Structure 1
Amino acid sequence: MMKALDKNQYTEYDVSHIFNEIILSHLEGYNGTKKEQLKSFLGDLQKGGCISGMIGEFIYHNDCKAFYIKHLEDLENIKNDLEESFGDPVANRYKLPHYTFLCWLCFEEYCYDIYRNVFE
């Protein structure tokens, strides 16, 4: 199972270990093998995003702020990597506090990258 989580371009960042723990903590509510559970979870996240409230760790601004402060360098670097690959700045279209925006953006991109590399 951990092999699937390592199939993304962000494993070099320390925050990837925390993101993996968050992902694993949410799989129990899904049916099937671990891989099927992972696919279902990642699919749900792609549909609803963190804004849906499905990731308890990132619901409250205070929690996002604490997470951002602790992992600031990694989160900013992931955002910079994304902007470099897009060739454009990533827009904070919901006008969220920067720390919440970065937590959501980075976690969602991390999960999408796993989905893309494992299931597509």
Structure 2
Amino acid sequence: MKALEKSIYVEYPVSRVFNKMILSEIESYDGTKKEQLRSFLEDLQRMGCISGMIGDFIYHADCKKFYIAHLDDLENIREEIEQSLGEAVKNRHRLPHYTFMCWLCFEEYCFDIYRSAFE
């Protein structure tokens, strides 16, 4: 799916894992692949990972495993986000760091795909 190749974060190996997660999650949406992707991304923007809509990121233990496996990519993505914002990203919900990082990076990755494919 071409839209998944448009992210500025595509250089990070974790993007391939994120893409698999996205493709798995959009199966439950109606329409063409592009319509499914758009609906999924809009739902994620509205509800976020905190809603439990991303099966791989519901449990802290799963987030911890994912974070450990992709630590460098996730921390580098966070640094890029902070550089573009000009300030540190705050963990407002006081989540465990690994859960916060998984949610932050996945949401940002998806928002970036939405911006490049649908805006």
| 1:65-102 Cα shifts (integer Å, max 9, x gaps) | 00000000000000000000000000000000000000
How much does 1:27 deviate? 1.0
Task: Give unpaired runs (5+ residues) of structure 2.
Answer: none
How far, CA to CA, are the matches of 1:56 and 1:113 in structure 2? 20
Does 2:65 correspond to 1:66?
A: yes
Match in the other structure for 2:80: 81
How far, CA to CA, are the matches of 2:41 and 2:31 in structure 1? 14
| 1:37-58 Cα shifts (integer Å, max 9, x gaps) | 0000000000000000000100
One-letter code of the match for 2:112?
Answer: D
Match in the other structure for 2:40: 41
Task: Give unpaired runs (5+ residues) of structure 1.
Answer: none
Match in the other structure for 2:104: 105
How far, CA to CA, are the matches of 2:102 and 2:49 in structure 1? 9
One-letter code of the match for 1:51?
Answer: I
Q: How does 1:84-95 map to 2 (within 5 A)?
A: 84-95=83-94
Question: What fraction of aligned residue pairs are identical, expressed as a percent?
Answer: 69
Structural RMSD (CA): 0.4
- Structure 1: 4+ residue segments shifted above 3 A: none
One-letter code of the match for 2:95?
Answer: L
Aligned length: 119
Secondary structure of 1:88's counterpart equals coil
Match in the other structure for 1:31: 30
One-letter code of the match for 1:108?
Answer: E
| TM-score, reference length from structure 2 | 0.99
| TM-score, reference length from structure 1 | 0.98
